[in-house]
Structure 1
Amino acid sequence: MRVLHVTEALGGGVQSAIANYIDHLPEIEHAVYSRARDGQSTYSWSGPVAHERYEGGLAGFFVRLVRKVQQERPDIVHLHSSFAGAARAVLPPGTAVVYSPHCYATERRDLGAMRRAGFAAIEWLLARRTRAVVAVSPREAELSRRLSARVPVVVALNPAPFAAPAARAPAADPAEVVMVGRISPQKDPGLFAAVAASTRDAPWRYVWIGDGDPDARRELLRAGVEVTGWTPPDKAAQRVAGARLYLHSAAWEGGPLSTIEAATLSTPVLSRDIPSMRSLGYELAGERPAQLAGAIARFFSEPAYAAHVAQRTTAVAVASSPSAMTAAVRDAYGKAFAIGLARVPS
């Protein structure tokens, strides 16, 4: 089977997810067609993979994709992210499309209700040109089934693209509370900054591993947060492994890989209360700065609560196993391919 992975924004968790599929399904011939996000390169392919990078706008990206599918005729076209998912409107009829939204646009909280409803209508229409959905959280699977009851949906929790360490990494001194990701509205750096500012005198410090919007970056710095800038994956993992706590401040998510990586590194995760993180099983700390700050203070002052947070985090890491992910993705590809065979006239 030949699978073409397509994303208009290669980087971050999307790139790591594709790398996971390539690594764990070696019986499949994988190829990648992408546009890149500057500074967000994560884990690269473990072996030789045909990878075409497109430089240019989204319209040209889609035109080239259609031509590529017509010429190469892959068995499966796996679209990653909601923008890449829009290609379902232009791909040749009969294309075996597997779709991974990596967070539906309807989850965004920086958009008004009317725009979210518009995105929902577009997704509903495009679901008719989808043969299977690979969701990255139970929440994403639930939204997918609402869009179409006839499209098979599997949940493939992405494991960290590295093995769990044999021993706990040395803890940073003073203790660090970290967040990993692009400084953008989705990750809500303003909330992280507000939490840091409200506990500025506490005996722990806050670190944001990543970069992005300059104004939001300055807000983090004013709150006393260290901002590392874009950091190579191995260095970022070392920093997370040495942290006492990972605080996930995002306003919306699909199924973030950064928190899975923290869990694999044995760094407890506290999360803002949003639907996807609730569905994944993380310990939730509320939505407002005071609630998150209170949960962090409780984590550092109550050993029983700290142990509870660690246990919840470990459970998520265990559920995000390579074998479970591989079985789910293989199932989705098999179903999408079988639907195509069933439509071929005898």
Structure 2
Amino acid sequence: MKVVHVTQPVEAGVAVVVLALAKAQQQRGWEVTIACPPGWLADEARTSGIPVHLWHATRSPGPRTARELLDLRKALRKLQPDLVHLHSSKAGLGRLVTRGKTPTVFQPHLWSFRIAEGLLSRVCRRWEALASRWTHLLVCVSDDELKAGRGAGVTAPAAVVCNGVDTQQLHPEPKEDDTPTAVCVGRVARQKGQDLLLQAWPQVLAAVPDAQLLIVGDGPMAATLQATKHPQVHWLGHSDTVADFYAKADVVVLPSRAEGMALVPLEAMACGRSVIAFEVEGVRQSLGDAGEVVPKNDTKALAQAIALRLADPELAGAEGKRGRLRAETLFDRDRMTDQLVALSRNLVSTEGRR
């Protein structure tokens, strides 16, 4: 079977999921191509022997979007796939190209209308509802994400396939020292909420004066936030070896304003670490009893939850152990890719009989 994965994000969570699925399909003998901009994903795909079509798409819609879609149409006409799998809202515009003529899977990885504001959010909601007609299968990464889609009028047939992580590569490691440490991993951008975490940090220090915060990642807000110079906050930049930082943590913090189902809590649980997060889509389904979910944007509650675990390593350790078991049983990467492979195969088989 010939499959083309189309994505605009080429790093972090979406790219990791795309690469894992492409590898799993290739191992089954499928002919897999990834269409994406230059970057980490393209480099890793080539290293794995997966062909890459460079699709020079920007992160957001704009004046270049029409040209981007024309380029994508040319690529799909040349590749003649049996299935097109569109990842993220920008790639989801590719449904204007496929228009239901080729079996098409759309996986938003977080609805665009959840992070857009005002008129743009309303336009995005309307588009997603209209594009249902060209979506043979909608794949959501959490029950919350599917509920949000249905609330926006998205009527396409759907399945929920939770994100997964490599629980063999990610595993618990003993903490290196006794310094109470919180770790935040992610792209430094408004959606990811590092600014909210920094608002909470003084209250954490008031309760646990020797605590430290490690922020791992880079992005458009990094320079601005670093300039605030909060005490005992260490900016570590982008890293491809995040497991090393989870090993330093007593607690991992997800201060995001919006998610579909974030990979960071799953990675942290696989590493046996407690997780604190704002109540955004997919978080309760991820964590269970492996940490604490606090009201969205409530920095006081966030600070209290972090400080509690930094002051009580036994509590954090117990949650980490429960998280490891949860990651192994519910969020292993092979489980995710097996489900997506089966759904893709069934879709092509069903559409081929029509």
TM over 0.5: yes
Check conservation: 2:266, 2:286, Cα contact below 8 A.
no
Q: Which amino acid aligns with 1:15?
A: A
1:248 and 2:280 are equivalent in the alignment: no
Deviates more, 1:159-168 or 1:189-198: 159-168
Check conservation: 1:178, 1:208, Cα contact below 8 A.
yes
1:175-197 superposed Cα distances (whole Å, 9 cap, x missing partner):
32111111111001210111223
Check conservation: 1:99, 1:132, Cα contact below 8 A.
yes
Aligned residue number for residue 339 of structure 2: 328
What SS does the aligned partner of 1:99 have? Answer: strand
Check conservation: 1:19, 1:43, Cα contact below 8 A.
no
Aligned residue number for residue 53 of structure 1: 54
Aligned residue number for residue 179 of structure 2: 174
Unaligned segments of structure 1, at least 5 residues: none
So what's the TM-score if we normalise by structure 2? 0.85
1:110-154 superposed Cα distances (whole Å, 9 cap, x missing partner):
613x43232111100011100112211221222344556763322
Aligned residue number for residue 3 of structure 1: 3
Matches within 5 A, 1:104-143: 104-108=111-115, 111-112=117-118, 114-143=119-148
Unaligned segments of structure 2, at least 5 residues: 58-63
1:205-263 superposed Cα distances (whole Å, 9 cap, x missing partner):
111101112454335633542111122x12x2211222111000000001111221111
Q: Which amino acid aligns with 2:89?
A: S
Mapped to 2, the partners of 1:93 and 1:130 lie a distance apart of 7
Deviates more, 1:304-313 or 1:287-296: 304-313
What SS does the aligned partner of 1:44 have? Answer: helix
So what's the TM-score if we normalise by structure 1? 0.87
Aligned residue number for residue 269 of structure 1: 275
Check conservation: 2:110, 2:260, Cα contact below 8 A.
yes
Q: Which amino acid aligns with 1:324?
A: R
What SS does the aligned partner of 2:182 have? Answer: strand
Q: Percent identity?
A: 22
Q: Label 1:161 to 1:220 Cα distance change in 2 as closer, same or farther (>3 A).
A: farther
1:285 and 2:294 are equivalent in the alignment: yes
Q: Which amino acid aligns with 1:32?
A: I
Q: CA deviation at 1:92?
A: 5.2
Mapped to 1, the partners of 2:31 and 2:111 lie a distance apart of 28
Q: Which amino acid aligns with 1:50?
A: P
Aligned residue number for residue 298 of structure 1: 308
Q: Which amino acid aligns with 1:95?
A: T
Q: CA deviation at 1:309?
A: 3.4
Aligned residue number for residue 197 of structure 2: 192
Q: CA deviation at 1:101?
A: 0.2
1:12 and 2:18 are equivalent in the alignment: no
Q: Label 1:43 to 1:255 Cα distance change in 2 as closer, same or farther (>3 A).
A: farther
Check conservation: 1:197, 1:224, Cα contact below 8 A.
no
Q: Label 1:286 to 1:54 Cα distance change in 2 as closer, same or farther (>3 A).
A: same
Mapped to 2, the partners of 1:61 and 1:306 lie a distance apart of 47
Q: Which amino acid aligns with 1:260?
A: L
Q: Label 1:96 to 1:242 Cα distance change in 2 as closer, same or farther (>3 A).
A: same
Check conservation: 2:273, 2:319, Cα contact below 8 A.
no
Mapped to 1, the partners of 2:18 and 2:187 lie a distance apart of 19
Mapped to 1, the partners of 2:326 and 2:233 lie a distance apart of 27
1:222 and 2:230 are equivalent in the alignment: yes
Mapped to 1, the partners of 2:114 and 2:319 lie a distance apart of 25
Deviates more, 1:220-229 or 1:22-31: 220-229
Check conservation: 2:172, 2:270, Cα contact below 8 A.
no
Mapped to 1, the partners of 2:228 and 2:160 lie a distance apart of 34
